[in-house]
Amino acid sequence: MVAEQLRRRGIRDERVLGAMSVVPRHEYIPSEHWEEAYEDHAIPIGQGQTISQPYMVAAMTEALELKGTERVLEVGSGSGYQAAVLALLAAHVYTIESDPELFRLAQERLTRLGLVSSITLLLGDGSLGYPPAAPYDAILVAAAAPQVPHCYLEQLLEGGRLVIPVGSRETQELRKIRKCEGKAVSQVLGHCRFVPLTGSQGWKS
């Protein structure tokens, strides 16, 4: 997976490649999909949600520019896979999930795999971020927003990075936004397709 889907397609951050080489993706998907666990596509995890394709996980993670000392917020915990990758690259990860069943399964999984000391899993409206633990060095949003919720910029440290899919329900731009002097400096990393970000600052359920 790392050699063929990530390195060959341009992922260069060795820390990201290393983290994705040791996090067992099959542990984060239903057992009936284990045979395709390391293929480069999204996989259903229940509740109408998916685990992102490995390349997209790597590209979004690389864009956060993590060095190992950061506090990171992930919006959309899903199966817990992205949080597990981030936990190997940052000091602490806060990850928030709106679906109670996915939250329960992710909590059981991350506990069983011994990751709860470096990950705080939360149940709530991720479109609002998580103000109690702000500010963050980086925020990764694993769901598509109709526009960038301003609360994310407010919860970033100066110089912090936000990676988020923005667009319609069908197709989005993957944007990397850096907070510079309190303002958002944005660049488009490519096109993507994510499940919608629901909540008060996202799409209506």
Cα–Cα distances in Å, from 173 out to 2, 13, 104, 122, 125? Answer: 24, 22, 30, 27, 22
Catalytic-residue membership of 52 = yes
Runs of H (alpha helix) within 80-168: 81-87, 100-112, 150-154
Residue 78 structure tokens: 């899903």
d(Cα 127, Cα 149) in Å, to the nearest integer? 7
Q: Which of 21, 52, 98, 168 is catalytic?
A: 52
Q: Is the peptide bond before 100 cis (omega within 30 degrees of 0)?
A: no
Burial class (CB in 10 A: 0-12, 13-18, 19+), 8: exposed
Helix (H, G, I), strand (E, B) or coil at 51: strand
Instruction: Supply the residues annotated as catalytic.
Output: 52
